[in-house]
Chain A
Amino acid sequence: MTTFGAVVRHGRGWLPLIGLAALLDSAVTLALPTVLGRSVDAIASGNDSERWLGLAAGLILLGVVCALVDVLASTTCVAGTTAWLRHRLVRRVLEGGPEGVRRFDTGDLVSRVSGSASDAAQAGPATVTAVAAVIPPVGSLVLLALIDPWLAAAFLAGVLLVIAVLWVFARRTTEISLAYQETQGRIAALLTEALAGIRTIAAAGTAGQEERRVLGLLPELHRQGLLTWHVLARSGAQAAIVGPLVLVAVLAIGGLQLVDGRITAGELFAAAQYAVIGAGLGSLTGLLGELARARAGIRRSAEVLAVNPVAYGILSLPPGPGRLVYDDVSVVVDGVPLLDHVDLNLPGGATVAVVGPSGAGKSVLAALAGRLRDPDSGLVLLDGVPLQAVRRSVLRRAVGCAFERPVLVGRTVSESISGGRIAPVEVLAAARATHAHDYASRLPQGYHTPLPEAPMSGGEAQRLGLARAWHTGRLLVLDDATSSLDTATERQISRTLTEDRHRRTRLIVTHRASTAARADLVVWLDRGRVRAVGPHQRLWQDPSYREIFG
């Protein structure tokens, strides 16, 4: 469980230093006005001035050192904690598997790693700094009262006035910036729409026309933008009067005390300084905001870290042909059975096609074979060993999956096939077998083209996805993985698959009759149940089987 305390504890090496620096800095801030005031008094009276001057210089030096330590130590602490949290988050997401992270959007997860983690890492330094930051404003108020209680009263009255002005400003700004943001959003929506048709626009030479359409709202944005500055103008003017008022109030009250000889000139000066420091009370809300952000960041991180990693077993697979058995397997989601007591015994080395109308449970069946999800009841066994009991490295070498929409990972095209697991020679072999080689070799830098710079169609992505799974040992699961290929390429790949020299078991989810026809065995699924198992030619006699293929 990741808590506020846990995150704070991670930076514990640095926190005492940060805390000490912050405390000393606060002490300096509080002491300085008095010391400066005394220095002036000493200079005026000609007594002891060197001692006070030395003290003032020492304090200032100490303050500068504290500020330096704070900047360096806080950043080092936060950077370290952020990286630590990010590594943990990334690892947990990847180990959680598709089922574990299903409830998070990709964008949401990214924002948790990039944003929330760095917010969360502020927890330690922010806590320490917040405690130390309370000292100067509160302390200065106390000191103000110690010099003279009336000074404190004058100060508080002034501060209330400032708060009132800020509050009115914040409220009016919110209203106006809301309208501004809405207009901005509408312009962005128009642009998004146009960008979706950018090829049409480029070909038709209508960029100018589109520009006018998208920018139609710009004058409105301009008007609303002007309004925000007008609000700022009014409150800026108010602040220009109200700000000095606090100080003048303190100076006036203090001046009258000076006339009466109750305080010295130095103390009057110190009082004015304390009034300014005391006004820093407002900036404390900023620190509280930072703490709240840190807490929210930790909560959002903890939600990800609470995902359970996929649990792998410790067994190896015995030698075998790749026999795949579904033993009374059911998968239920929200009370709806996706697979309903499925029993299948698929011979090793066979090509098995899985067909059925959409929603029949084909992909779930494939995901179970690839251990991308686990059955709610029953077992899936490969050569007699339940998949859940197999060690991760063994399982992933033995079973490979290719998908309808593969998502490729890696710095380069080559890495997207190898995934850091196989040698370049094998990458080339896999690419040739799946016809990804034609695509890859046409790229600007061939296999070394950075993945983001390699534009690809659905069919080309599918070929790379197939290549990635090509070196699987025992069982190849293809979930509609050739649907975007043109017919010729699809047939060539199918032939390579059928003539597979390694005699791996192939489980192929498909919509094409030709693929089913070439398979050794067809599993016909319907609403989560196995309707029939047999060769395509035999099933073809059933009119409702033929209906599946339209």
Chain B
Amino acid sequence: MRRELGFGVAALRRRPALEFAAWSLPEILPTAVYGIAVAHATDAFLAGRGATGLAWLGGLVAAACLGAVGARQAYRRLGDLVEPFRDELVRRVVSGALRNAGRIDGAVSRLNRQVEIVRDTFAGLIVVTRTFTITVVGVVTGLLSLDPLIAALVVPPFLLGFAASLAILGLAADRMKASLSADEQLATSAGTAFAAVRDVTATGAEDFTANLVGEPVEAHAAAERALARVAALRTLCFAVGGWLPLLILLAAGPWLVGRGVSTGTLLGGLTYVLLGLQPALSTVMSALGDGGLRYVVTLGRILDTGAPAERPASICLPRGHQVRLHKVSFAYGPQAEPVLRSLDLVVPEGDHLTVVGPSGIGKSTLAALVCGMFPPTEGRLLVGRVSPHELSPEQLARTRVLIPQEAYVFSGTVLDNLSYLAPEAPVAHVNRAIEAVGAEALVARLGGPKASIRPGQLSAGERQLIALVRSYLSPAPLAVLDEATCHLDPEAERRAEEAFSARPGTLIVVAHRISSALRARRILVLDGNEAMVGRHTTLVRESPLYRDLLGHWQPRPDQIQPAS
């Protein structure tokens, strides 16, 4: 909670904050005058001096007008306090989502809903704090000028109630968090179950699944009931802070009147409690208890996922782009069985290597390791004699280019998309790349390099073509295609792979089709516990798995020739 409040306070800019506070001063006047005006007006009316009474009320209206001028200026400054704060949150969410590849789920919901909740509750907190401060200062001033005795009777129990309501905030925050997370769990498990209705019916798992969703349903109900008990506590705090001052004032009434306090003054005191302190307390309690907690919880969630980690630039620069793996192992968790085990491999500069193997065997993991997306669990992996994981993103991008299966195309011109990795590339280079990879027809259909595209309008294969041309243009000498051609037809795949093969530098292809292997200079066969690297002719002789993979690509004679 401290972190979130600190974050909010730190986000307040000094100048608008000071102006906001200064423009709030005039509003103290109507609050302070309120009870005094009522008191004097009542006494005047009681004494039969109607005009004087009305004059007091007129003074109240005048004070309200003055306060309104202040309110208007203060609220205008509110934007200068809240909007920069909101900007900062948006920046954090966007940057966190883009830089922490693992934490992208929920990013859009954070950007839309959560940022808005924080913005509204943050503004709400500022406004409520302001109103509360104005009211307390105004009322205390008014009470003191009315009769210090009344102030002494009224203010202490009020402050006691307020303090008590602050004290239970921590408890309330915990309960609120529990309720929110129960709600989220419910939505998640209901979502999974409902997406699986077909599967649930097919396996007869209706009862099992209903129980699975039933658990968070009950948990949420329990959390709501726990929240209600906190609300009850809050009601008690209000009884102390809002009603006790009133009762004390009334009980002391006869004694006060005996000491010469007028009826009007007594009424003025009651007015301060009923129209000043009570609404202020109830507003601040509900704002802190509801909006304030939502602010803390929601902002906490954004801050938890936000903080992007910057990788410091390595002092050693890669020399060349030879890839060397020495006893490299990788597992996704300490308990997990390694995906790669003690792998030795050297890919010299200019090599064309294709990686084949059954699905789930670690081909993509190997590609990611070589590209420095994460470090190996054990062993040494060097690209150009340095560990790629230690290079800065910019240095890495100059050394290698990774083309994943899911091609990235963004709204913008065709050229923007193509020159994404080489913004300075001359038009001639771009055109040559388009031609080499085999994207002329696509670019022509889209309306040329200057045409705007939307990713949704392109098929998966077309998006892959765009990504391939883009990567072809990259300055990096080491290109890693991770099933980057899986949505292309075999002929288009051949053309693209040949283009990359002819491109200066090294090419590593994670094969989707076994035909990719036939085009490679060398082939790495991954088979769980062992790996074998070699040329096609060697592997056909020595690797049963390779023969197996190959055998299924080439139609068996009995499937082609009809049985007669």
Contact = CB atoms under 8 A, between A and B. Distances in A.
B41 A251 contact: yes
B111 interface: yes
A210 B111 CA distance: 15
Interface in A224-269: 225-226, 228-230, 232-234, 236-238, 240-241, 243-245, 247-248, 251-252, 255-256, 258-259, 265, 268-269
Contact of B42 (A255, A393, A397): A255
A195 B91 contact: no
B304 interface: no
A43 B335 contact: no
A193 B45 contact: no
A192 interface: yes
Contact of A72 (B228, B407, B563): B228
A75 B175 CA distance: 14
B541 interface: no
Q: Is the interface of B mostly helix, strand, loop or mixed?
A: helix
B99 A444 contact: no
Given A244-B60, A487-B552, A43 B221 contact: no
Nearest to A273: B274
Contacts of B73: 233
Interface stretch (A6-14, A132-140, A183-191, A348-356): A183-191
A197 B408 contact: yes
Given A202-B373, A409-B192, A233 B76 contact: yes
Given A40-B253, A60-B243, A72 B335 contact: no
B53 interface: yes
Interface stretch (B395-403, B444-452, B532-540): B395-403
B204 A107 contact: no
Contacts of B228: 71-72, 74-76, 79
A266 B403 CA distance: 82
B408 A200 contact: yes
B68 interface: yes
Given A204-B401, A407-B195, A265 B201 contact: no
A392 B239 CA distance: 58
B202 A218 contact: no
Contacts of A409: 192-193, 196, 199-200, 205, 208-209, 212
Interface stretch (A81-89, A281-289, A323-331): A81-89
Contact of B194 (A109, A205, A237, A255): A109
Contacts of B562: 537-538, 540-541
B553 interface: yes
A87 B210 contact: yes
Contact of B253 (A49, A71, A206, A273): A49
A225 B86 contact: yes
Contact of B266 (A40, A401, A488): A40
Given A199-B101, A269-B270, A487-B553, A79 B75 contact: no
Contacts of B227: 75
Contacts of A244: 30, 60-61, 64
A65 B401 CA distance: 70
B98 A210 contact: yes
Interface in B260-313: 263-264, 266-267, 270-271, 274-275
A490 B359 CA distance: 10
Interface string B110-149: 0110001001000100000000000000000000000000
Given A91-B210, A93-B194, A233 B559 contact: no
B257 A71 contact: no
Contact of A442 (B69, B116, B213, B336): B336
Interface stretch (B163-171, B183-191, B516-524): B183-191
A67 interface: yes
Given A237-B75, A443-B336, A444-B334, A419 B61 contact: no
Contacts of A237: 68-69, 71-72, 75
A468 B201 CA distance: 13
Interface in B390-427: 392-394, 396-397, 401-404, 406-411, 420-421
Given A237-B72, A488-B548, A225 B82 contact: yes
B50 interface: yes
Given A188-B108, A205-B392, A259 B50 contact: yes
Interface in B353-382: 357-360, 371, 373
Given A75-B227, A199-B406, A259-B48, A487 B57 contact: no
Contacts of B61: 241, 244-245, 248
Contacts of B74: 233
Contact of A207 (B98, B270, B373, B420): B98
B410 A194 contact: yes
